[in-house]
Amino acid sequence: MESLLQRLRQFRDERNWSEFHTPKDLAVSVSIEAGELLELFQWRPDTAPIGDEVKSAVADEAADVLLYLLMLCDRLDIDLEEAAHSKISRNERRYPIESSYGIARSRRKF
């Protein structure tokens, strides 16, 4: 992950784009790119096969989401890998296997 982040910083810095990468704008960009990823599946039946062209488009949009998210976390001095491990640990406690296995629903009460 660190080598990817270094390459991304170099790409940004060589173009003098750092000033445009505010936390708000990076968060907005994550959302926009995630929307573009979702759009690839809009109106597709769940059983429709996913061919190479769709996979390639998904890869591009997923990469955009990841790159903007990395830039956001870098700007805020968040170790994304550490945050992800921490979140999984919290989810393991929140959704123990014995009460969550095979159940796809939130434990939130509205």
- For residue 55, give the nearest of 39, 40, 72 by alpha carbon: 40
pLDDT score recorded for residue 70: 97
The backbone torsions φ and ψ at residue 72, rounded to the nearest 5 degrees and listed phi first, read -60, -50
Helix or strand holding residue 32 (H, E): helix 23-39
Distance, CA of 36 to CA of 30 (rounded, Å):
10
> Given this model, what pLDDT does residue 91 score?
96
Domains of the chain, first to last: 2-78 (1.10.287.1080)
Q: What is the pLDDT of residue 107?
A: 61
Residue 109: the pLDDT is 60
Query: Do the Cβ atoms of 29 and 68 come closer than 8 Å?
Result: yes
In tens digits, the chain (110 residues) has pLDDT values of: 999 999 999 999 999 999 999 999 999 999 999 999 999 999 999 999 999 999 999 999 999 999 999 999 999 999 999 999 999 999 999 999 999 999 887 666 65
